[in-house]
Structure 1
Amino acid sequence: MSATGLRACLLLGSAREPRLATRVLTFVTSEMKRRGWECDIVDPLEVNLPVLQTPVFFYKNPDDVPPVLNDIAAKIKAADAFVIITCEYNNCLPPGLLNTIAHFSPFAYSKRTSSIICYSAGMYGGIRAAMQGRCLLGEINTVSIPNVFGMPKVQDTLTEDGKPLDDHLVSGAEKHLNELEWYTRALKVARDSDASL
Structure 2
Amino acid sequence: MSHKILILYGSYRSDRMGIRLAHYLVAKLTAQGHAPELIDAQSVNLPMLDRMYKEYPPGDAPPPMEALAQKIRTADAFVFVTGEYNWGPQPGLKNLTDHFLEEWFWRPAAIASYSAGRFSGVRAGIAWHAILSEMGMVPISSTLAVGPIAQTLDADGQPTGAAGESLDKAFGRFADDLAWWADAAIQQKARRAPPY
* TM-score interval, smaller chain: over 0.9
Secondary structure of the residue aligned to 1:63 is: coil
1:195–1:132 Cα change, 3 Å: closer
Partner of 1:169: 167
Secondary structure of the residue aligned to 1:62 is: coil
Partner of 1:153: 148
Q: Deviations over 1:6-27 (max 9, x none)?
A: 1111111212120112211111
Secondary structure of the residue aligned to 1:82 is: strand
Q: Distance in 1 between matches of 2:120 and 2:46?
A: 27
User: Of 132, 136, 139, which residue of structure 2 is paired with 1:141?
Assistant: 136
Asked if residue 26 in structure 1 is aligned to residue 23 in structure 2, the reply is: yes
Aligned-pair CA distance for 1:41 = 2.1
TM-score (norm 2): 0.94
User: Of 15, 36, 41, which residue of structure 2 is paired with 1:39?
Assistant: 36
Partner of 2:104: 109
Partner of 1:88: 84
Point out where structure 1 has 5 or more consecutive residues left out of the alignment.
Answer: none
Q: Deviations over 1:80-127 (max 9, x none)?
A: 10110111111110011111111012x211110000001111000000
Q: Which moved more, 1:187-196 or 1:68-77?
A: 187-196
Secondary structure of the residue aligned to 1:129 is: helix
Matches within 5 A, 1:48-59: 48-59=45-56
Which aligned segments of 4 or more residues in structure 1 are displaced greater than 3 angstroms? none
Q: Deviations over 1:51-74 (max 9, x none)?
A: 100111111x22211000011101
Equivalent pairs counted in the alignment come to 192
Secondary structure of the residue aligned to 1:191 is: helix
Q: Is the 1:13–1:93 Cα contact (8 Å) retained in structure 2?
A: no
Q: Is the 1:112–1:184 Cα contact (8 Å) retained in structure 2?
A: yes
Q: Is the 2:18–2:149 Cα contact (8 Å) retained in structure 1?
A: no
Q: Is the 1:147–1:179 Cα contact (8 Å) retained in structure 2?
A: yes
Aligned-pair CA distance for 1:196 = 5.6
Identity percentage over the alignment? 31
1:196–1:174 Cα change, 3 Å: closer
Q: Is the 1:83–1:117 Cα contact (8 Å) retained in structure 2?
A: yes
